């Protein structure tokens, strides 16, 4: 129960609350049109201050960061765990919540501010303390019920989408948040919903990995199982072949020298073969020349002259015989020279052929050695290739293992989803009385406020527990807001019966938008009766022209519940802050 909301701002209008129904009115200024709003009066700001003091985040856009409010503190006094507590917080240092109470039994003891002597708790510890005291929640870890995730069901904020539907208090509220917190608030086992969100996270990770497979960094880690399996088989085969080759490999230190010698021999053999070919061509040419070198006979010369009727003297005859003898000697010497040249060429051919045979024998010996041995650098290259293949095989095995694990995990998650659905179904059956109580409370409230505007349905889907309100016919703004009223009132009654919860329910004027005036009157009367019956506080902020005075029961004294502090937008001092912020 909230007793008071105040501020260090001198112009701020301190608002004090009683138990049961409390109505904070914003008066309509004279001459205001329907198009004018009274947002500046501070109705919504009052709820925003409650959340701020209850540990809501304080961003740069928060009103508590405004220049006019940044250095001001806001305070509330409320009942918690059978004692009155005063909490103070400012936009200047929003991480500290100064607390005035006996908190000796709290798990986290306040820290003393040496400058002021006041005691404070960091916001995180403050909300943890509120969670434990109001909802019996301890630190359950990620995706678990928390104070800041549950208290908005008891104080919705329109600017955050709090009145879009009954199940959500925030327009961007995640499904897991709804499932976990409503399961807890309704008294169900919330852990399957928590585990289901963990399944979703893993499914999302797998989906992302599979999407990125084959490209970028992730493509180097995973791939398609069939493709990886083929690559692995081929790599293993090549690695095995190379391993066997290395096993039989014999290192010969002189390998490169022998390789060079074999190359030199091959060149020498080629030179010898070329030289013999040229020699044989020379022999053939000489032999043809020998046939052409035939000596001229002297008697043939004499016969030629005689045929010409020329008789040569004896002296000439003698001279011709001398020339013939000389010529014969020259020809003979020439023939002897050519014959010796042929003999020399043939001898050199024999020598070359002998050398070639020896070289060929040596080359065969070398090639035999080279074919059965290898060089050290050759072996090093083979070792390097084997190492590369070994790493490739290892990498492919790991990638295939990851890919198979992803597929296996996907299957496991599908099974886990089914098991969680079964657990939730069993839990709902085991908590049938709890669900029945919530359903009947909602049904009773729905019938009281109207003929019949919806039924609460708690069910199970493949995606977890579902909470929805079934409506026959249309779903207008007025009907939706009546459902929200019944839903919030139902939660407040449930927690009041447990002697836990925040002890208050706050609705601002937006709840009554679109509702028939008779339904607005009914909602206010029901809120007053239920808050009094179950001992919790029902706070309403309304515009004065929204009050359906003619629709209340004669015995219902609406004005008796109106807060003495009345707000107005007639001038700058009429709003909650007593100034324009």
Is pLDDT above 70 for 103? no
Is pLDDT above 90 for 51? yes
Q: What is the mean pLDDT of residues 115-132?
A: 92
Write out 308-371 in H/E/C secondary structure.
CCCCCCHHHHHHHHHHHHHHHHHHHHHHHHHHHHHHHHHHHHHHHHHHHHHHHHHHHHHHHHHH
pLDDT tens, 338-352?
788 888 888 888 888
pLDDT band at 298 (very low <50, low <70, confident <90, very high): low
Phi, psi of 484, deg, nearest 5 = -60, -45
* 404 three-state secondary structure: helix
Q: What is the mean pLDDT of residues 29-46?
A: 63
Beta bridge partners, 531, equal: none
What is the Cα–Cα distance from 546 to 23, expressed in whole angstroms? 12
Q: What is the mean pLDDT of residues 401-411?
A: 76
pLDDT attached to residue 437: 96
What is the Cα–Cα distance from 295 to 284, expressed in whole angstroms? 21
**Percent of all residues in the chain with a pLDDT value above 70, rounded to a whole number:** 81
357 or 239: which leads in pLDDT: 357
Is pLDDT above 70 for 194? yes
Q: Where are the beta strands (DSSP E) in 394-503?
A: 455-461, 464-470
Contacts of 171 (CB under 8 A, 6+ apart): 160, 161, 164
Is pLDDT above 90 for 73? yes
What is the Cα–Cα distance from 184 to 193, expressed in whole angstroms? 10
What is the Cα–Cα distance from 60 to 66, expressed in whole angstroms? 9
Is pLDDT above 90 for 6? yes
Q: Could you tell me the pTM of the whole model?
A: 0.71
pLDDT tens, 7-28?
999 999 999 999 999 999 998 7
What is the Cα–Cα distance from 469 to 487, expressed in whole angstroms? 9
- The tokens for 381 are 């290259």
Mean pLDDT, the chain, as a whole number?
Answer: 84
Is pLDDT above 80 for 245? no
Contacts of 494 (CB under 8 A, 6+ apart): 185, 186, 187, 437, 438, 441
Is pLDDT above 90 for 135? yes
Q: What is the mean pLDDT of residues 85-104?
A: 91
pLDDT attached to residue 34: 45
Task: Give the closest residue to 152 by CA, choosing from 166, 162, 137.
Answer: 162
pLDDT attached to residue 217: 42
pLDDT band at 359 (very low <50, low <70, confident <90, very high): confident
Phi, psi of 467, deg, nearest 5 = -130, 115
pLDDT attached to residue 229: 82
Q: What value does the CA radius of gyration of the chain take, rounded to a whole number of Å?
A: 55
**Percent of all residues in the chain with a pLDDT value above 90, rounded to a whole number:** 47
Length, in residues, of the chain: 581
pLDDT tens, 427-452?
999 999 999 999 999 999 999 988 76
Is pLDDT above 70 for 260? yes
Please calculate the CA angle 227-232-378 and round it to the nearest 5 degrees. Answer: 135
What is the Cα–Cα distance from 414 to 123, expressed in whole angstroms? 39
Classify each residue of 465-493 as buried b or exposed e, where b means 16 or more C-beta atoms within 10 Å of its C-beta.
bbbebebeeeeeebbbbbbbbbbbbbbbb
Task: Give the closest residue to 20 by CA, choosing from 509, 505, 536, 503.
Answer: 536
pLDDT tens, 26-37?
987 665 544 444
pLDDT attached to residue 318: 62
Q: Are 576 and 567 in contact (CB under 8 A)?
A: yes
pLDDT attached to residue 258: 57
Q: Are 283 and 275 in contact (CB under 8 A)?
A: no
Q: How far is CA 355 from the centre of its chain?
A: 77
CA distances from 493 to 54, 208, 521, 529 (A): 21, 44, 20, 11
Is pLDDT above 60 for 496? yes
407 or 317: which leads in pLDDT: 407
Q: What is the mean pLDDT of residues 177-206?
A: 93
């Amino acid at each position: 129960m909230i007793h008071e909301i105040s501020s260090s701002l001198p112009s701020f209008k301190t608002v004090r609350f009683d138990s049961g129904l409390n109505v904070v009115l914003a008066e309509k200024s004279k001459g205001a049109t329907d198009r004018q709003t009274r947002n500046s009066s501070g109705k919504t700001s009052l709820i925003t201050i409650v959340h701020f003091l209850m540990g809501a985040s304080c961003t740069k856009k928060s009103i508590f960061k405004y220049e006019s409010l940044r250095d001001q503190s806001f305070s509330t006094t409320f009942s918690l765990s059978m004692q009155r507590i005063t909490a103070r917080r400012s936009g200047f240092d929003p991480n500290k919540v100064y607390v005035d109470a006996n908190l000796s039994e709290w798990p986290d003891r306040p820290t003393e501010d040496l400058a002021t002597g006041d005691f404070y708790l960091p916001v995180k510890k403050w909300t943890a303390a509120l969670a434990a005291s109001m909802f019996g929640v301890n630190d359950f870890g990620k995706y678990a019920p928390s104070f800041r995730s549950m208290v908005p069901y008891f104080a919705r904020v329109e600017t955050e989408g709090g009145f879009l539907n009954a199940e959500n208090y925030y327009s961007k509220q995640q499904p897991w948040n709804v499932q976990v917190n409503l399961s807890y608030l309704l008294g169900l086992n919330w852990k399957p919903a928590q585990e289901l969100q963990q399944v979703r996270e893993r499914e999302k990770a797998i989906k992302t990995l599979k999407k990125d497979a084959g490209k970028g960094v992730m493509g180097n880690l995973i791939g398609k199982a069939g493709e990886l399996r083929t690559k692995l088989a081929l790599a293993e085969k090549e690695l095995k072949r190379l391993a066997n080759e290395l096993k039989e490999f014999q290192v010969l230190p002189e390998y490169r020298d022998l390789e060079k010698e074999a190359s030199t021999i091959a060149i020498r053999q080629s030179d010898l073969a070329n030289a013999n070919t040229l020699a044989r061509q020379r022999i053939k040419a000489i032999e043809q020349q020998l046939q052409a070198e035939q000596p001229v006979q002297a008697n043939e010369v004499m016969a030629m002259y005689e045929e010409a009727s020329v008789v040569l003297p004896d002296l000439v005859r003698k001279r011709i015989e001398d020339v013939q003898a000389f010529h014969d000697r020259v020809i003979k010497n020439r023939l002897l020279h050519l014959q010796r040249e042929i003999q020399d060429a043939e001898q050199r051919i024999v020598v070359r052929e002998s050398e070639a045979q020896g070289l060929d024998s040596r080359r065969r010996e070398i090639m035999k050695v080279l074919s059965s041995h290898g060089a050290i650098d050759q072996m090093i290259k083979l070792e390097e290739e084997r190492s590369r293949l070994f790493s490739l095989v290892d990498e492919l095995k790991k990638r295939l293992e990851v890919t198979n694990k992803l597929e296996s995990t996907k299957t496991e998650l599908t099974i886990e989803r089914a098991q969680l659905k079964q657990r939730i179904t069993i839990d709902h059956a085991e908590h049938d009385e709890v669900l029945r109580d919530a359903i009947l409370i909602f049904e009773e409230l729905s019938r009281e406020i109207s003929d019949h505007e919806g039924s609460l349905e708690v069910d199970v889907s493949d995606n977890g527990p579902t909470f929805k309100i079934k409506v026959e016919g249309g779903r207008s703004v007025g009907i939706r807001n009546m459902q929200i009223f019944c839903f919030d009132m139902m939660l407040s009654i449930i927690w009041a019966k447990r002697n836990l919860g925040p002890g208050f329910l706050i609705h601002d004027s937006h709840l009554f938008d679109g509702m028939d005036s008779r339904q607005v009157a009914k909602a206010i009367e029901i809120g007053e009766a239920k808050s009094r019956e179950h001992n919790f506080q029902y706070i309403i902020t309304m515009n004065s022209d929204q009050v359906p005075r003619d629709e209340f029961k004669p015995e219902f004294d609406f004005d008796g519940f109106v807060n003495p502090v009345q707000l107005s937008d007639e001038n700058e001092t009429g709003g909650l802050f007593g100034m324009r912020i």
